[in-house]
Amino acid sequence: MKNNMGVWINGTKAVIVNLQNDSVKEVVADIDNNVHHGYEGDKGTFVGGGRHVNNEKTFAERKKHQTDHYIKEVISELKKADGVFVFGPSEMKHHLKTQIENDRNLASKLSAVETADKMTDNQIVAAVKKHFTAVKQ
């Protein structure tokens, strides 16, 4: 039996379904969505001499690194997959798709990327089973 896996992903979590052993695993994203931290004022951080640090640039870099870490964590769960189905409501599925396509071992295993609404774990498992049943035929 092939080790087909499905990933429902958004900006807060990824639900990974492994059809070979009927397991469901959740990977929680640790992505900061606040431009300003509690210790900063609403105008950002001032560094000695009245210099102003651009928080938006710092925020964008921090968010990029956190997103990359999250995507790598999800990909590490997919390494042994024979087929991968990615779906979800947000742009995060496209970030995951790009990283899968850049991975020599996983690129050929990507079955499809689709948009899907918020789902329960049972709905996610059903969608993954339905996808791979339709692919077989």
Structural domains in the chain plus CATH codes: 4-136 (3.30.420.60)
Give residue 56's region: left, alpha or beta (phi > 0; psi -120 to 50).
alpha
Q: What is the pLDDT of residues 97-106, one digit of tens each?
A: 999 999 999 9
Whole-model pTM: value is: 0.82
By mean pLDDT, which of 28-42, 57-71, 81-95, 117-131 is the weakest?
A: 28-42
Q: Which segments of the chain does DSSP mark as H helices, in order?
A: 55-78, 92-102, 121-136
pLDDT at 34 over 70: no
- Computed over every residue of the chain, the mean pLDDT equals 86
pLDDT of 31 reads 85
pLDDT of 60 reads 83
Question: In terms of DSSP bridges, do strands 51-53 and 83-88 run parallel, antiparallel, or are they unpaired?
Answer: unpaired
